[in-house]
Amino acid sequence: MLDLLDRLPPQFRTVCYDGARVPDGDHDLSHGSNCQRYAYTVLAQFGIALPPWYSSELWGDAELTHRVSEFEPLDLLLFSRDGESFGAHVAVYAGESRALHLSKSVGHPVVWTLTQFVERPEYRVLVGGKRALRG
C-alpha cells in the first residue's frame, strides 16, 4: 500500500513547517504551513472541503464532521499533551495505524505510526478522530 504522502503531488513532500501559516481557507502551501492548514489541504486534494477551523473548532463540530473511534484513511486525528482539543496537533490518518502530518519538531511532512505519536510528550494523548461527512 502506498503511503498517503506518495499519493499526493510532489510539493506536499517538501512543505516546510511554519506555525504562523494557520488555516485561513487558502490551500497554498508554498510558503509553509502549520499542521492544521496542511491537513485541510491534504483533504482538499482528495475532494474533501472543510472550513479553516482550529483544532478545538474541528473537535466541537457536529455539522460537517463526526467523531470516530475506528479510523479510515483521510480521517483527521487530534493529538495533545493533555487530551484537550484546544491547540491539538492535527494529522491525517493514512491507514494501517499510520498518519501523515507536518510538525515543528520534524519540519517537513512525514508518516508516523500511531505509536510514534504517543511516544512524544507533546502528542502522547490521542484526543480522537474526526471524519468529514461526504455527500
Q: Which CATH class is domain 4-132?
A: alpha beta
Q: What is the pLDDT of residue 5?
A: 76
pLDDT above 90: residue 80: yes
Q: What is the pLDDT of residue 31?
A: 95
The rounded distance, in Å, linking the Cα atoms of 89 and 81 is 9
Q: What is the pLDDT of residue 135?
A: 57
Q: What is the pLDDT of residues 86-96, one digit of tens each?
A: 999 999 999 99
